[in-house]
Amino acid sequence: MSAAGQDIALKGSRITRFVIYTVLIVFAIFYLLPLYVMLTNSLKPLEEIRGGGMLSLPKVWTLEPWRAAWSHAQIGVSPTGLKPFFINSIMMVVPAVVLSTFMGAMNGYVLTKWSFRGSGVVFGLLLLACFIPFQIVLIPMARILGLIGLAGTTWGLVLVHTIYGLGFTTLFFRNYYAAFPTELVRAAQIDGASFFQIFWRILAPSSAPIVVVTVIWQFTNVWNDFLFGVSFADFDSIPMTVALNNLVNSSTGVKEYNVHFAGAILAALPTLVVYIVSGRYFVRGLMAGAVKG
Amino acid sequence: MARLKIDNLRKSYGPVEVLKGIDLEIEDGGFLVLVGPSGCGKSTLLNCIAGLEDISGGDILIGERSVTGLHPSKRDIAMVFQSYALYPNMTVEKNISFGMEIRGMPRAAREAAINEVADMLQIRELLKRKPSQLSGGQRQRVAMGRALVRDPQVFLFDEPLSNLDAKLRVDMRTEIKRLHQRMGTTIVYVTHDQIEALTLATKIAVLKDGELLQFGTPDQIYNDPVNMFVADFMGSPSMNLLPATVVEDGGALMVSLAGHEGDMLLPAPESAAMRALLGRQVIFGIRPEAFTDPQGADRTTGQIEKRTCFVDVVEPAGSDTFAVVNLGGKSAVARLRADAQIAPGAVTELAFNMSKAVFFDPASQARVQ
Ligand SMILES: Nc1ncnc2c1ncn2[C@@H]1O[C@H](COP(=O)(O)OP(=O)(O)OP(=O)(O)O)[C@@H](O)[C@H]1O
Ligand SMILES: [Mg+2]
């Protein structure tokens, strides 16, 4: 009787497994299909694409579209390729991510471990930043950037993204540090550690998971941003996303789809790398932050 | 080492008053234990002494110096937290040396100090481990070590044993007592556990709802409780508190309890306060060990009263036998010798040691002397 029951259970679990895997594989194919199309077509000569068969593998393999996209495709008016804009984006993303993550960590630290009269209100206001649509701040932001002389510069974009990211980074760190035992901070106070010593020596070493979450979040958001880039950048600070758009729109005569595909993959590559390198921490960190707060 | 004086200390969180004017003083080298039910303000009081909470009124003196407004690290105190609060990212060694490092003590001196406490607490082989790799008792010892290297004026302990299992608790209790005897440092110690309080303290403060109910030696707290709360809170099993009536019998004051067959009379002390309650209710308090079999009764006191009682339940407990007796309409616990011949459902003679009996006014809960 019990053996029969076990048998049924085993069979049942095998069927469930089969269904689960089938569904998962179907979804994986569905999501990978665009990447497949982009990758294969970026490795074909243009004639092959025009000859139809977007889904077929290249008959002639070529890296030329990649080379073109990177270094000599027509972007807007000049044939520079995406390279200078890729560098612009890096120059914008790295400081913006570092600054917003660090300031979010500081905010979270103060809001949980040094809370003061009205700190709840301050946190509420910071949270509000998460819900303000980008479009609303465009004009005031342009005015402010003009006033402080950062209009059209990479540092102007860094400032915008840092401020805009602060709501989220603060939320992440606040929730994470709310679960961090306050007694540790008190023990360090008795040991004589200062405000920053407590942060660097006690909290920071335990913050890796939430730092990873914040960095991934900020990196993807800032890297993928189009609106701020197109609104506030001058020619020498245009980020990758905007350049990609220009690439696709500015090709005179024939549309070089293979170059466009290569450019799009180049634009997506850094976020992909960030996810793959630290993705497993991402989920873990989100869970840790979600425990309390 | 220094005395600690707390003068009319008040602490409020917004409109909520958590400490309502606490006055305490513990002499140099004393061991002050704070007890009270959960939420009565013990940790808050300790945190105020440590400087981790700002006080709302009154003053705290360590030695002759007022420490109000002083940063925790400047008060010359060390604290052991309930959760031990070991820094999770540092090894045991680093945990212990962190404070010294912050204070800029040279490396050689730090190492000497670590070695000394490591030997004292027998944690030498743990020095390279992280706190997560330690057992509860080991963590507790490391937390003590971190406090000990400071050689402070006052040690503060916030329920340091509450996370340990029963056996380890007893061991660590002895260890703390030994440490105190050796170092002679003033200690303030918070606990829920009244056995811990009675064994460790030179002075006990009983708190309730932010008020100091009684402050005295363990003997005073145990034998001379000022009210029913203290009487009930200290001691295990706790004191029998039985409703009785004050009567006069041949000119002498007596209390009358509802026994198994009619009322039972026991002598009451002659005093104005007691006489004022004549004809009214009083709470008769007697500890289980003062209510025992006639052979086991304390013969050095002349105030043994023997009465027959109805034994409801018998609970042998190894070293003692507890008998539950119906008295004053309640279940009273008597503590008998282990081999006392007694059976449940029997009527037997038991001895009341009236020199240990205490009386309370049921309305105010205060002691009637
Ligand atoms: N930050 C705070 N804000 C408001 N009320 C607080 C705060 N901290 C403590 N309290 C209140 O102060 C009272 C005393 O708290 P405390 O932690 O001192 O109790 P305790 O005696 O240590 O209790 P336990 O034995 O459970 O540890 C409690 O009623 C608690 O709710
Ligand atoms: Mg407490």
Strands B77-80 and B154-158: parallel
Number of CB pairs, chain A paired with chain B, less than 8 A apart:
54
pLDDT value, residue A251: 56
Question: Which residue has 């649509």 as its token pair?
Answer: A133
pLDDT value, residue B246: 92
Among protein residues, the one whose CA lies closest to atom 31 of ligand 1? B39
Residues B155 and B268 in one domain: no
Query: In this structure, what CATH number is given to the domain that contains residue B283?
Result: 2.40.50.140
Would the pLDDT of A284 be above 90? no
Give residue A1's pLDDT band: very low, low, confident or very high (50, 70, 90).
Answer: very low
Backbone angles phi, psi at B62, to 5 degrees: -115, 120
Task: Return the sign of the alpha-carbon dihedral for residues A76, A81, A87, A93.
Answer: positive
CA of residue B191 to ligand 2 center, whole Å: 8
- Which pLDDT tens digit goes with each residue over B232-265? 999 888 999 999 999 988 888 899 988 877 888 8
C-alpha to C-alpha distance for A164 and B298, rounded to whole angstroms: 79
DSSP state of B338: T
Higher per-residue pLDDT: A165 or A11: A165
Give residue A6's pLDDT band: very low, low, confident or very high (50, 70, 90).
Answer: low
- A187 contacts in B (CB within 8 Å)? 79, 81, 85, 87, 146
Give the residue from chain A lying closest to B90, CA to CA.
A202
* Averaged confidence pLDDT in chain B: 90
- Which pLDDT tens digit goes with each residue over B116-154? 999 888 889 999 999 989 988 889 889 989 998 988 999
pLDDT value, residue A4: 55
Give residue A291's pLDDT band: very low, low, confident or very high (50, 70, 90).
Answer: very low
Residues B36 and B178 in one domain: yes
Tell me which of B9, B10, B12, B13 to substitute to probe ligand 1's pocket, judged by most ligand atoms within 8 Å of the beta carbon. Answer: B13
End residue of a domain, out of B233, B256, B276:
B233
Starting from the CA of residue B42, give the closest ligand.
Answer: 1
Give residue B46's pLDDT band: very low, low, confident or very high (50, 70, 90).
Answer: very high
Q: Residue count of chain B, please give it.
A: 369
**Confidence check on the interface: ipTM exceeds 0.95, yes or no:** no
Residues B215 and B313 in one domain: no
Of ligand 1's atoms, which has the minimum distance to the CA of residue B159?
A: 27
pLDDT value, residue A180: 92
Residues B22 and B94 in one domain: yes
Q: At what angle do helices A134-147 and A154-178 cross, to 10 degrees?
A: 120
Which of A191, A202, A206 lies nearest to residue B73, judging by beta carbons?
Answer: A191
Starting from the CA of residue B18, give the closest ligand.
Answer: 1
- Which pLDDT tens digit goes with each residue over A208-253? 888 988 999 999 999 999 999 999 998 889 999 999 998 888 756 6
Residues B66 and B200 in one domain: yes
Q: Do B72 and A206 touch (CB under 8 A)?
A: no
User: What percentage of chain B reaches a pLDDT higher than 90?
Assistant: 58
The lowest-confidence range among A45-59, B174-188, B301-315 is A45-59
- Which pLDDT tens digit goes with each residue over B72-119? 999 999 999 988 899 998 999 999 999 999 999 999 999 999 999 998
Taking residues B1-27, report their average pLDDT: 91
Taking residues A122-141, report their average pLDDT: 89
Residue A120's contacts (CB-CB under 8 Å, 6 or more residues apart) are none
Would the pLDDT of A9 be above 90? no
- Which pLDDT tens digit goes with each residue over A154-213? 999 999 999 999 999 999 999 999 999 999 999 999 999 999 999 999 999 989 888 988
Q: Do B52 and A189 touch (CB under 8 A)?
A: yes
Q: Do A191 and B50 touch (CB under 8 A)?
A: no
CA of residue B47 to ligand 2 center, whole Å: 10
Give the residue from chain B lying closest to A208, CA to CA.
B89
Q: Do the Cβ atoms of A158 and A92 come closer than 8 Å?
A: yes
Q: Do A183 and B85 touch (CB under 8 A)?
A: yes
pLDDT value, residue A290: 42
For chain A, domain boundaries? 3-71, 82-291
CA of residue B79 to ligand 1 center, whole Å: 18
pTM of the predicted model as reported, rounded to 2 decimal places: 0.81
Q: How far is CA B260 from CA A252, B4, B247, B326, B344, in A?
A: 111, 52, 19, 7, 14
Q: Does B330 touch chain A (CB under 8 A)?
A: no
Give the residue from chain B lying closest to A202, CA to CA.
B87
- Which pLDDT tens digit goes with each residue over B304-323? 889 888 899 999 988 889 99
In B76-105, the residues whose Cβ lies within 8 Å of chain A are 77-79, 81-83, 85, 87-89, 98-99, 102-103
Of ligand 1's atoms, which has the minimum distance to the CA of residue B37?
A: 25
Taking residues A111-115, report their average pLDDT: 93
Residues B174 and B265 in one domain: no
Q: How far is A197 from chain B (nearest CA, A)?
A: 9
Residue A254's contacts (CB-CB under 8 Å, 6 or more residues apart) are A46
State which residues form the domain around B219.
Answer: 4-233
- B91 contacts in A (CB within 8 Å)? none
Give the residue from chain B lying closest to A187, CA to CA.
B85
Q: How far is A188 from chain B (nearest CA, A)?
A: 8
End residue of a domain, out of B167, B201, B233:
B233
Residues B282 and B214 in one domain: no
Among protein residues, the one whose CA lies closest to atom 6 of ligand 1? B13
- B83 contacts in A (CB within 8 Å)? 181, 183
End residue of a domain, out of B204, B233, B262:
B233
Residues B137 and B246 in one domain: no
List residues bridging with B285 in a β-sheet: B241, B358
Residues B218 and B249 in one domain: no
Which of A186, A205, A206 lies nearest to residue B52, judging by beta carbons?
Answer: A186
Which of B85, B89, B103 lies nearest to residue A186, judging by beta carbons?
Answer: B85
Give residue A2's pLDDT band: very low, low, confident or very high (50, 70, 90).
Answer: low
CA of residue A119 to ligand 1 center, whole Å: 21
C-alpha to C-alpha distance for B84 and B278, rounded to whole angstroms: 54
List, chain by chain if needed, residues with CB within 6 Å of any ligand 1 atom.
Answer: B 13, 16, 18, 36, 38-44, 192
pLDDT value, residue B122: 86
Of ligand 1's atoms, which has the minimum distance to the CA of residue B47?
A: 18
Give residue A286's pLDDT band: very low, low, confident or very high (50, 70, 90).
Answer: low
- Which pLDDT tens digit goes with each residue over A115-129? 888 999 999 999 888
Fold of the CATH domain A82-291 = MetI-like fold (1.10.3720)
Number of domains, chain B: 2
* Averaged confidence pLDDT in chain A: 87
Give residue A293's pLDDT band: very low, low, confident or very high (50, 70, 90).
Answer: very low
Residues B48 and B189 in one domain: yes
Backbone angles phi, psi at B58, to 5 degrees: 85, -165
pLDDT value, residue B72: 92
Residues B35 and B161 in one domain: yes
Query: In this structure, what CATH number is given to the domain that contains residue B225?
Result: 3.40.50.300
